[in-house]
């Protein structure tokens, strides 16, 4: 599994954009970059994933570096409900692959 490095914690103000970085310099060429988040007292939930191109969905945007050694999850307008631990997970797409969670980044959102 590719090793990831994420800040332990970040802080943001409500309604401002948040950029959550992740380094995954040992990612393999076929690994997708998955982002999940875990709200307090809940199971993790899927946020977004991508391979090479930047990706957007209703929750967030994912910007992937050209060399794929890093990526950034972008929350366009943070809300209090976005306070959670965010996990960046490189993972293959075969049936035998699974998600391996690291320490993640704890995002705190201030009103």
Partner 1 sequence: DSGVTQTPKHLITATGQRVTLRCSPRSGDLSVYWYQQSLDQGLQFLIQYYNGEERAKGNILERFSAQQFPDLHSELNLSSLELGDSALYFCASSSWGTFYGYTFGSGTRLTVV
**Rule CB under 8 A: which residues touch partner 1?**
32, 34, 36, 38, 42-46, 49, 87, 91-104
Q: Which is nearer to partner 1, 5 or 13 (CB)?
A: 5
Q: Which is nearer to partner 1, 51 or 65 (CB)?
A: 51
User: In the beta sheet, which residues pair with residue 21?
Assistant: 72
Q: Which is nearer to partner 1, 17 or 103 (CB)?
A: 103
CB of 3 to partner 1, least distance (A): 14
Nearest to 88 by CA among 108, 109, 72: 72
Tokens 């332990």 — which residue?
Answer: 8
Largest CA distance in the chain: 42
CB of 2 to partner 1, least distance (A): 13
C-alpha distances in Å from residue 19, one per residue of 1, 22, 42: 24, 10, 23
CB of 52 to partner 1, least distance (A): 15
């Amino acid at each position: 599994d590719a090793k990831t490095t994420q800040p332990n914690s970040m802080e943001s103000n409500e309604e401002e954009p948040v950029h959550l970085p992740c380094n995954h310099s040992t990612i393999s060429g076929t690994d997708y970059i998955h982002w999940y988040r875990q709200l307090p007292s809940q199971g993790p939930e899927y946020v977004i994933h991508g391979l090479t191109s930047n990706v957007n969905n209703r929750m967030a945007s994912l910007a992937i570096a050209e060399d794929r050694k890093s990526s950034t999850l972008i929350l366009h307008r943070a809300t209090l409900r976005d306070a959670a631990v965010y996990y960046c997970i490189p993972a293959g797409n075969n049936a035998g692959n699974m998600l391996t969670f690291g320490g993640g980044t704890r995002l705190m959102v201030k009103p």
